[in-house]
């Protein structure tokens, strides 16, 4: 078990194999239980069971009634659990506060993150959010939330995992070294990750800190976190990764010889063309920086990610 198992992620109970579904079944997810389980501490919760709906139980769905979204029984429309699901999300704040991410069950009227069916006059549209999930995301707008189905996509998976680790490190920084210098150091360590998501916004975020004199630190931190998580939601592209790798390569230009430069260029080109995963050029860069250390680069999480992040780089 890795040390980062202490990073807590909330999860819909059925995804861990708990038989809490309306039909007494589960939706155990092999990737979550077989891979991610080694890197995180999962905190399971089923809001439908928590509010007293039995196992098995009547299915519920989102329905548009008088321009409001209600969560009601599919057979017994008098069964309206909207307020109970909203309230139960509010009641879980005591442990939600400790989370660095949340994985929810897609399409669920209680837990779905997006595109949940809302019925109007019997016809569905996919514009809904599960009642429990909506309250959770309203309460914690920066908390990384993802659906289990989307984790099958390597880029979306990388995006979610990066956000979880970075949000966890943010929370630790706020608890231990909440100062302008701590904030600037945090940014320096994450600069190249941010560049791989959006270079222009990453530079703007750096300028925000550089131009601050440390006054109104709480307001600055709120503004920084808002921009940080918005940048991280942008899917990192091959083009941006290549630009980031070449930027890092620039720090070696006076150290490595022509053959090493040619090899590095070829490996970056092979990554760009889809012949190699991202971990290969990063590993080669790390090799050169071990020979020619640069403290600024060495401290970068882009170059030395956590094992959980490293594992994911094999896929992209």
In a shared domain, residues 110 and 225:
no
CA dihedral (243, 245, 248, 250) positive or negative: negative
- Point out the domain boundary residue: 152, 176, 206: 152
In a shared domain, residues 61 and 130:
yes
Instruction: Quickly count: other Cβ atoms within 10 Å of residue 55's Cβ.
Output: 15
pLDDT tens digits along 132-146: 999 999 999 999 999
Between helix 258-272 and helix 279-291 the angle, nearest 10°, is 160
For residue 122, with 0-12 CB atoms within 10 Å meaning exposed, 13-18 middle and 19 or more buried, which class applies?
exposed
**How would you label 69-88 residue by residue, b for 16+ Cβ within 10 Å and e otherwise?**
bbbbbeeeeeeebbebbbbb
In a shared domain, residues 123 and 184:
no
In a shared domain, residues 315 and 200:
yes
- Reported as a pLDDT band with limits 50, 70 and 90, residue 3 is very low
Q: Please, which residues have CB within 8 angstroms of residue 221's CB and are 6 or more apart in sequence?
A: 174, 178, 183
In a shared domain, residues 166 and 306:
yes
In a shared domain, residues 140 and 172:
no
In a shared domain, residues 142 and 245:
no
- Reported as a pLDDT band with limits 50, 70 and 90, residue 74 is very high
In a shared domain, residues 278 and 295:
yes
- Reported as a pLDDT band with limits 50, 70 and 90, residue 1 is very low
- Point out the domain boundary residue: 125, 152, 179: 152
Rounded mean pLDDT, 179-199:
93
Q: Would you state the pLDDT for residue 158?
A: 84
In a shared domain, residues 90 and 167:
no
Does the reported pTM lie above 0.75? yes
- Tell me how far apart the alpha carbons of residues 103 and 101 are, in angstroms, rounded to a whole number: 7
Cis peptide bond upstream of 56, omega within 30: yes
Token pair in block for residue 235: 């899917």
- Tell me how far apart the alpha carbons of residues 63 and 44 are, in angstroms, rounded to a whole number: 27
Instruction: Quickly count: other Cβ atoms within 10 Å of residue 219's Cβ.
Output: 10
pLDDT tens digits along 243-270: 999 999 999 999 999 999 999 999 999 9
Rounded mean pLDDT, 278-303:
92
247: nearest Cα among 290, 210, 203, 187: 203
Rounded mean pLDDT, 101-108:
97
pLDDT at 316 over 60: no
- Reported as a pLDDT band with limits 50, 70 and 90, residue 313 is low
Residue numbers of the domain that contains 247: 153-316
In a shared domain, residues 8 and 130:
yes
Please give the span between the terminal C-alpha atoms of the chain, in angstroms, as a whole number: 24
Q: Would you state the pLDDT for residue 240?
A: 95
pLDDT at 279 over 90: no
Phi, psi of 124 (to 5 degrees): -95, 150
- Reported as a pLDDT band with limits 50, 70 and 90, residue 295 is confident
In a shared domain, residues 38 and 120:
yes
- Tell me how far apart the alpha carbons of residues 41 and 24 are, in angstroms, rounded to a whole number: 25
Q: Would you state the pLDDT for residue 2?
A: 45
- Point out the domain boundary residue: 108, 132, 152: 152
Q: Would you state the pLDDT for residue 119?
A: 95
Percent of residues, the chain, with pLDDT higher than 70 = 95
How many domains is the chain partitioned into structurally? 2
The answer to which of 37-51, 103-117, 263-277, 293-307 has the lowest mean pLDDT is 293-307
Rounded mean pLDDT, 84-93:
98
pLDDT at 215 over 80: no
pLDDT at 5 over 60: no
In a shared domain, residues 60 and 42:
yes
- Reported as a pLDDT band with limits 50, 70 and 90, residue 312 is low
For residue 254, with 0-12 CB atoms within 10 Å meaning exposed, 13-18 middle and 19 or more buried, which class applies?
exposed
- Tell me how far apart the alpha carbons of residues 61 and 199 are, in angstroms, rounded to a whole number: 42
- Reported as a pLDDT band with limits 50, 70 and 90, residue 216 is confident
pLDDT tens digits along 45-70: 999 999 999 999 999 999 999 889 99
């Amino acid at each position: 078990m890795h040390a980062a198992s202490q990073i807590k992620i909330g999860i819909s109970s059925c995804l861990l194999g708990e038989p809490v579904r309306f039909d007494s079944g589960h939706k155990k997810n092999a990737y979550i239980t077989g891979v991610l389980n080694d890197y995180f501490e999962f905190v399971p919760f089923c809001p439908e069971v928590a509010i007293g709906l039995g196992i098995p139980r009547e299915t519920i769905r989102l329905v548009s009634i008088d321009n409001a979204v209600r969560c009601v029984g599919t057979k017994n429309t008098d069964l309206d659990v909207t307020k109970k699901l909203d309230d139960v999300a509010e009641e879980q704040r005591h442990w939600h506060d400790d989370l660095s991410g949340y994985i929810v069950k897609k399409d669920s009227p209680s837990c779905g993150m997006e595109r949940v069916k809302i019925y109007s006059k019997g016809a569905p549209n996919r514009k809904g959010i599960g009642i429990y999930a909506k309250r959770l995301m309203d309460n914690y707008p920066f908390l990384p939330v993802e659906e289990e189905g989307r984790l099958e996509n390597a880029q979306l998976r990388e995006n979610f995992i990066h956000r979880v680790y970075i949000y966890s490190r943010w929370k630790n920084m706020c608890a231990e070294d909440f100062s302008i210098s701590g904030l600037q150091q945090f940014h320096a360590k994450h600069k190249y990750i941010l560049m791989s998501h959006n270079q222009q916004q990453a530079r703007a975020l750096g300028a925000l800190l550089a131009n601050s004199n440390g006054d109104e630190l709480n307001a600055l931190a709120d503004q920084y976190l808002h921009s940080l998580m918005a940048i991280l939601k942008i899917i990192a592209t091959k083009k941006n990764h290549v630009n980031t790798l070449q930027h890092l390569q620039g720090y070696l230009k006076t150290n490595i010889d022509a053959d090493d430069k040619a090899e590095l260029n070829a490996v970056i080109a092979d990554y760009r063309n889809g012949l190699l995963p991202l971990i290969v050029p990063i590993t080669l860069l790390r090799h050169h920086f071990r020979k020619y250390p640069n403290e600024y680069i060495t401290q970068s999480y882009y170059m030395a990610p956590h094992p959980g992040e490293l594992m994911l780089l094999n896929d992209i």
